[in-house]
Amino acid sequence: MRAQRAAMVVGTSAVILTSGVLAAPDADDAVSEEPTTGATDATDDAADGATDATTDESTTDAGDGVTGTFDGPVVTNIRGDYQVSLTFENGVLVDVEFPVAGTDAPESVRINDAALPELEEEFLEAQDWDVEYVSGASFTSPAMVESAEAAFEEAGL
């Protein structure tokens, strides 16, 4: 149990180091019974503890540390929604992923769109130009309209 809490502290610190813009999970809640000063302290604690599991990545003797992938909650800030997924092997953090990373948030979309070149505006006049083809809205085949009109006439309508 104690090793797992320590692992969470390491994970939290790693996330903060990995992504400066990230809204960090609430570190105080995650490690309320442990020092929150950082990875080094936490691993020292774990090493001093009753179990021989450790989260120090330099330690090769992994023991019975926690293994698995843990998804954090989706945290929302002004830049959008963020979620972190941490993968541990024997108590060692081996992967950090961001299943939700903010780019779809309205704020992010607005900022991204602002980076696109602006439209240019101009008034147009109809003129006589030689063209191969005219691109306009859809219209029914003139031949079909003519044929339909003839059929209506034939029917006396």
Q: Which is nearer to other proteins, 50 or 119 (CB)?
A: 119
Burial 114-143 (b: 16+ CB within 10 A, else e): eeeeeeeeeeeeeeeeeeeeeeeeeeeeee
Instruction: Write down the least CB distance from residue 76 to other proteins, Å.
Output: 20
Q: Which is nearer to other proteins, 61 or 123 (CB)?
A: 123
Task: Decide if residue 126 touches other proteins (CB under 8 A).
Answer: yes
Residues 62-81 that bind other proteins (CB under 8 A): none
Task: Decide if residue 139 touches other proteins (CB under 8 A).
Answer: yes
How far is the CA of 9 from the CAs of 15, 47, 52, 57, 85, in angstroms? 10, 14, 17, 13, 14
How far is the CA of 19 from the CAs of 6, 23, 83, 120, 156, in angstroms? 20, 9, 12, 38, 78
Task: Decide if residue 106 touches other proteins (CB under 8 A).
Answer: no
How far is the CA of 47 from the CAs of 2, 26, 132, in angstroms? 10, 24, 80
Instruction: Write down the least CB distance from residue 134 to other proteins, Å.
Output: 4
- Name the segment binding other proteins (CB under 8 A); options: 17-25, 52-60, 62-70, 127-135: 127-135
Instruction: Write down the least CB distance from residue 142 to other proteins, Å.
Output: 7
Cα distance between residue 148 and residue 77, in whole Å: 61
The single residue among 20, 48, 58, 117 that binds other proteins, judged by CB under 8 A, is: 117
Instruction: Write down the least CB distance from residue 78 to other proteins, Å.
Output: 21
Q: Which residues bind other proteins (CB under 8 A)?
A: 113, 116-127, 129-144
